[in-house]
């Protein structure tokens, strides 16, 4: 095979793929949030879009994912690790600890809009949580603090830990991997989840620098 033949075949292959582009995302209905509305929501505005979709969003995977991404975006604006009582912000007992005001962006009703997003995320998490029978990589303790401990990660790397809300990553914290282990502890009493665990598939770590 020469270059010309290869190019012709790649062009035909590319054309064939281009012809497969669906007209619309089948999961996105007329009831779903529009991108213009999402843009407003990411600026903490336009909450009427949420109000008008109150019955739709909890049943819609597309919207729920969008809401999770918006919540993650709003929430990540202020998140930063605290140098608690040990070096590098890492506490061997409690993992990385975050300042109260970070969690407060979710929980203390500073913004009714953020609280509105939390409602959807909380509903979804409650639907996924199961009673805790043994220690697991991700669980809510008796106070409503989410604990996540991931093993087998590259030591020294800075990584973000996400909850996968319908597959959409929602950041819940970040930190440096120590001894292959990354621990996050984050108060989330607003979700009302206590002594329950989450499936390991709902938690993922990713390198901080990548996104």
For binding to other proteins (CB under 8 A), which residues are involved?
1-3, 6, 9-14, 16-18, 20-22, 25-28, 34-36, 38-39, 42, 62, 65-66, 69-70, 73, 164, 167-169, 204, 206, 210-211
Phi and psi angles of residue 14, each rounded to the nearest 5 degrees, phi first: -65, -45
Q: What is the dihedral of CA 9, 12, 15, 16, to 10 degrees?
A: -100
Can you tell me the distance from the alpha carbon of 117 to that of 66, in angstroms, rounded to the nearest whole number? 10
Cβ(104)–Cβ(110) under 8 Å? Answer: yes
Please, what is the minimum distance in Å from the beta carbon of residue 50 to other proteins? 15
Q: Quick one: 159 or 193, whose CB is closer to other proteins?
A: 159
Please, what is the minimum distance in Å from the beta carbon of residue 6 to other proteins? 6
Cβ(150)–Cβ(207) under 8 Å? Answer: no
Chain-centre distance of CA 11, in angstroms?
A: 38
Q: Quick one: 21 or 51, whose CB is closer to other proteins?
A: 21
CA atoms within 13 A on the CB side of 73: 14
Q: Quick one: 75 or 190, whose CB is closer to other proteins?
A: 75
Q: Quick one: 48 or 109, whose CB is closer to other proteins?
A: 48
Please, what is the minimum distance in Å from the beta carbon of residue 3 to other proteins? 7
Q: Quick one: 43 or 93, whose CB is closer to other proteins?
A: 43
Q: Quick one: 17 or 51, whose CB is closer to other proteins?
A: 17
Q: Whose structure tokens read 């336009």?
A: 46
Please, what is the minimum distance in Å from the beta carbon of residue 52 to other proteins? 16
The answer for residues whose C-beta is within 8 angstroms of residue 196's C-beta and 6 or more apart is: 129, 130, 131, 132, 139, 140
Please, what is the minimum distance in Å from the beta carbon of residue 211 to other proteins? 6
Please, what is the minimum distance in Å from the beta carbon of residue 12 to other proteins? 8
């Amino acid at each position: 095979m020469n270059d010309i033949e290869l190019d012709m075949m790649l062009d035909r292959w590319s054309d064939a793929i281009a012809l497969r582009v669906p007209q619309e995302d089948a999961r996105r209905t007329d009831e779903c949030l529009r991108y213009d509305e999402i843009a407003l929501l990411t600026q903490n505005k336009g909450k009427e879009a949420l109000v008008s979709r109150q019955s739709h969003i909890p049943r819609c995977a597309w919207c729920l994912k969008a809401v999770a991404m918006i919540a993650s975006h709003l929430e990540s604006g202020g998140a930063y690790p605290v140098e608690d009582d040990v070096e590098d912000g890492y506490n061997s007992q409690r993992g990385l600890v975050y300042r109260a005001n970070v969690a407060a962006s979710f929980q203390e009703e500073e913004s009714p809009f953020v609280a509105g997003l939390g409602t959807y995320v909380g509903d979804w998490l409650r639907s996924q949580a199961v009673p805790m029978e043994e220690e697991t990589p991700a669980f809510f303790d008796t106070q409503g603090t989410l604990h996540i401990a991931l093993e087998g990660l590259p030591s020294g790397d800075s990584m973000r830990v996400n909850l996968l809300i319908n597959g959409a990553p929602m950041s819940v914290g970040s930190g440096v991997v120590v001894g292959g282990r990354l621990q996050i502890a984050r108060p989330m009493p607003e979700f009302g989840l206590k002594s329950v665990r989450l499936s390991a598939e709902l938690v993922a770590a990713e390198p901080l620098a990548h996104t």
